[in-house]
Amino acid sequence: MRVAVTRLGGLVQRRGFASTSRRLDNYAFIGLGQMGYQMAKNLQSKLKPSDKVAIFDVNPTALESLSAEMKAASSGAAVDIAASAHDASKEADTVITCLPEPQHVRGVYDSILTSSLPKKDRLFIDCSTIDPTTSRQVAQTVTDAGQGTFVDAPMSGGVVGATAGTLTFMLGAESSILPRVEPTLFLMGKKVLHCGGQGAGLSAKLANNYLLALNNIATAEAMNLGIRCGLDPKVLANVLNVSTGRCWPSEINNPVKGVLENAPASRDYRGGFGISLMRKDLRLALVAAEAAQAKTELGTVGFGMYDKAAEREDCKNRDFSVVYRYMGGKEE
């Protein structure tokens, strides 16, 4: 796969397109949650029949279901169900992990990097959203074990993007290894944004989601203010979206029912990016900020709102825009 490079300020954006460059033959994919399941499926479907993908997850139902889907496909790499993350990694040249929390990433890599793992110059791509400090610690354990290179590649695009293969990856890796990393990421996504050395991808992802979390709260408060002052919600949204208050929550994911028919707010906040996930990402951003000695006064207040809303019965398991409901936003 060849890569087209565009420079946006100091950021390098790459788009992949097909060519005949070499790809590694043996892959392992560990972590088959909502995102990982679809990513692994895309990876397997776009590899050659001579390639192999070993898959593992602690949820046997997800593991069996994905294996059945992959084997039913008429093309793609051979599939092997592994008994553990360690077994999945034994023959792999490239190991991809997509896990929920920092402790899961540490635990999985501790289980992989044992003395019984055959020595190999592996590429470990972690697509989990965790804190940069933990990521760097895991990277060091890979280096110390002499088992290859660890990079961070958190992604944006949600389950829809994972299913469609249109994810954007924020990559933290040394420039010298990009030709080895990018072809694999382009099998699962559409863009790769190289953000700097190892850990930089996570720093970029958490900074973005920190801003998104706070913009969402501000949009909810501004919409409620205008509505309670007598403004029609759609009129107010139109004003915001052609003015300086415009942001993703106001334009794409407005928190008020009826403003955008396809937004979660118009479906009782069902679907979308779960509030518990935003709580997690904001918590990780605060952890990263503390490590970097960066002030985050608004973030601490915002986390308190997401933390409480995620546990309230009429808000839990809903899109993060449900903070509008949590803070008493007018819904009728």
Q: How far apart are CA 70 and CA 66, in angstroms?
A: 6
Q: What pLDDT score was predicted for residue 112?
A: 98
Active-site residue, 205 included: yes
pLDDT given at position 21: 45
Which DSSP string corresponds to 112-138?
HSSTTSPP--EEEEE-----HHHHHHH
Distance separating alpha carbons of residues 42 and 38, to the nearest angstrom:
6
Write the CB contacts of 22 (distance below 8 Å, at least 6 apart in sequence). none
Q: Put residue 102 in one of left, alpha, beta given phi > 0 → left and psi -120 to 50 → alpha.
A: alpha
Element (H, E) at 78: strand 78-81
Q: Give the Cα separation of 3 and 182 in Å (integer).
A: 8
Residues, the chain: 332
Mean pLDDT by runs of 10 across the 332 residues of the chain is 50 52 77 96 95 97 96 91 98 97 98 96 98 97 97 94 96 97 97 98 97 98 98 98 98 97 96 95 97 96 98 97 97 84
Is the CATH code 3.40.190.10 the one for domain 2-197? no
Are the beta carbons of 167 and 155 closer than 8 angstroms? yes
Q: pTM of this prediction?
A: 0.89
pLDDT at 10: 58
Neighbours of 241 (CB within 10 A): 14
Domain ranges of the chain: 2-197, 204-326
Alpha-carbon torsion, ordered 280, 284, 285, 288, to 10 deg: 180
Residues 36-69: b if buried by 16+ CB within 10 A, e if exposed:
bbbbbbbbbbbbeeebbbbbbbeeeebbeebbee
How many angstroms separate the CA atoms of 10 and 8, rounded? 6
In DSSP notation, 215-256 reads HHHHHHHHHHHHHHTT--HHHHHHHHHTSTT--HHHHTS-SS
* Predicted local distance difference test score (pLDDT) of residue 12: 60
Question: What is the structure's pLDDT at 20?
Answer: 40
Provide the pLDDT for residue 63.
96
User: How many CB atoms within 10 Å of residue 130?
Assistant: 26
Give dist(CA 164, CA 101) in Å, integer: 24
Token readout for 40 is: 């692994």
Closest by CA position to 52, among listed 34, 28, 18:
28
Of 52, 191, 205, 257, the catalytic one is 205
Return d(Cα 27, Cα 90) in angstroms, integer. 10
Q: What residues contact residue 52 under an 8 Å CB cut-off, 6+ apart?
A: 25, 26, 27, 77, 78, 79, 80, 91
Which CATH superfamily hosts domain 204-326? N-(1-d-carboxylethyl)-l-norvaline Dehydrogenase; domain 2 (1.10.1040.10)
Q: What single-letter amino acid sits at 320?
A: F
Q: 98, 30 in Cβ contact below 8 A? A: yes
**Predicted local distance difference test score (pLDDT) of residue 316:** 96
